[in-house]
Amino acid sequence: MPPSEIRKLQEQRFQQVIRWAWNNNAVYKRKFAEVGITKEEQLPPLSGIDELPLLSKEDFRLNYPLGLCCIPKNEIREMHMSSGSTGSAVVMPYNEHDLNQWAECMARCWIMSGAAAGDPVQITPSFGLFNGGFGMYHGARKAGLFVLPTGSGNTERQIKLAKDLGTKVFGAVVSYMVRIMEMLESGDIKKLPDLKIGVFGAESFSDGMKRRIESALGIEVFDIYGMTETGGVGTLGMDCKAHNGIHVWEDQYYCEIIDSATKKNLPDGEQGELVVTALNRQALPVIRFKTGDLTKIVYREKCSCGRTHVRISSIAGRTDDMLIAKGVNFFPLQVERALMEIPGVLPQYQIIIEDIDGVRDVSVHVEAEEHVTGYMVEKHLKERLGFSPKGDVFKPGTLPRSEGKAKRVVYKNN
């Protein structure tokens, strides 16, 4: 769709969705009243979106479980939930329309990755309250793929199934794919010759990590994005074969980038916090939701793949992930980026934070081949981060593994 038509559709859907929220939910009505909007005619057009209040995780927490829901409970057909890094539970209800909308977004992602009807796709995120398993499932059904709904865990069986049934596409949480990769290196089955495509997300991952997975498995890796609050995996988009930014499904979501401190909108190209408005959801459409994710708008021009949807950069981290040590601010992803540059370092690591007598001590535990020393790791981290955490090298297979999102940062004394 030409960008001007997408914009027209966004304007029209925005009008619908804010009226829908205002008319069907008391919390939204109250929040809008707080900024002086007390009559329907005062609701702004899309160009005035920044007049509306921001919605935060705190709003979800305060209105747990269904205070933000805009439909009667008996019209809900499914729900998902995240406990989130901050621990506040977010419940996301879906009606029939929303389930179709999710399936549409996720199906676009599968098709964009090169998966075609009938291709075997192995869905390894867990099936349950976490949205990863079911979201990939709804989309794969819509795209006509052959679904292997394995869920997470039992890695040996995953590999056997992938070999026996000729899995072409893996959908996974990034760290679980690393687990599968390790098992392939050490187990009886070394190669999955039919595997061509990896659709991975739920965590930030560096380009270095992407390249390692690609070369170890001989596949093309895609970075899929979404979250419970926007309706789950794939709702926000994915990178295409040009791998030059994540295409956000702009007919479905409107994106803004704000400065988290001033709450002001930032121009294209500047990194800030992504704020999302769901334009085509009914049960709980988020309006100006502060995602906590750091990114920037990189392109609005048509992509070489032919798509016209805006592109954002891969997620650099979360606003609440930022660590401070010895006066230097850094994100876990920067540590990963630096580690992946060291030959012989393996993709399992943890950042250990310990406050000793008021002084913050940071060490990086990482698995590596025998020739890599702690000194090598420290030296490289110092060059890249501007301060020197302790570097402790571990034998392969000794750091804790996860079947869902990895716990990269460990606080020792709290």
Based on CB atoms, which residue is closest to ligand DLL, 224 or 351? 224
* Region 276-305 residues binding ligand DLL, contact defined as CB under 6 A: 291, 293
Q: Is 318 among the residues that bind ligand DLL (CB under 6 A)?
A: yes
Q: Can you tell me the distance from the alpha carbon of 269 to that of 12, in angstroms, rounded to the nearest whole number? A: 26
Stretch of 93-101, 115-123, 222-230, 343-351 contacting ligand DLL, by CB under 6 A:
222-230
Provide the β-strand partners of residue 78: 94
The correct pick among 53, 93, 120, 125 for binding ligand DLL (CB under 6 A) is: 125
Pairing between β-strand 169-173 and β-strand 146-148 as defined by DSSP bridges = unpaired
Q: Can you tell me the distance from the alpha carbon of 217 to that of 111, in angstroms, rounded to the nearest whole number? A: 21
Name the 3-class secondary structure at 57.
helix
Secondary structure tally for the chain: helices H, strands E = 10, 21
Q: Is 55 among the residues that bind ligand DLL (CB under 6 A)?
A: no
Q: Is 228 among the residues that bind ligand DLL (CB under 6 A)?
A: yes
Length of the chain: 414
Q: Is 256 among the residues that bind ligand DLL (CB under 6 A)?
A: no
Q: Can you tell me the distance from the alpha carbon of 229 to that of 221, in angstroms, rounded to the nearest whole number? A: 25
Q: Can you tell me the distance from the alpha carbon of 392 to that of 365, in angstroms, rounded to the nearest whole number? A: 5
Residue nearest to ligand DLL (CB): 201
Stretch of 51-59, 93-101, 160-168, 198-206 contacting ligand DLL, by CB under 6 A:
198-206
Q: Is 132 among the residues that bind ligand DLL (CB under 6 A)?
A: yes
Q: Is 347 among the residues that bind ligand DLL (CB under 6 A)?
A: no
Residues 6+ positions from 71 with CB-CB distance below 8 Å: 24, 93, 95, 282, 283
CB 35 within 8 A of CB 263: no
Least distance to ligand DLL, CB of residue 50, Å? 21
Q: Is 224 among the residues that bind ligand DLL (CB under 6 A)?
A: yes
CB 352 within 8 A of CB 363: yes
The correct pick among 227, 257, 279, 346 for binding ligand DLL (CB under 6 A) is: 227
CB 330 within 8 A of CB 323: yes
Least distance to ligand DLL, CB of residue 313, Å? 10
Q: Is 151 among the residues that bind ligand DLL (CB under 6 A)?
A: no
Site residues for ligand DLL per CB under 6 A:
82, 125, 131-132, 173, 201-204, 223-228, 232-233, 291, 293, 315, 318
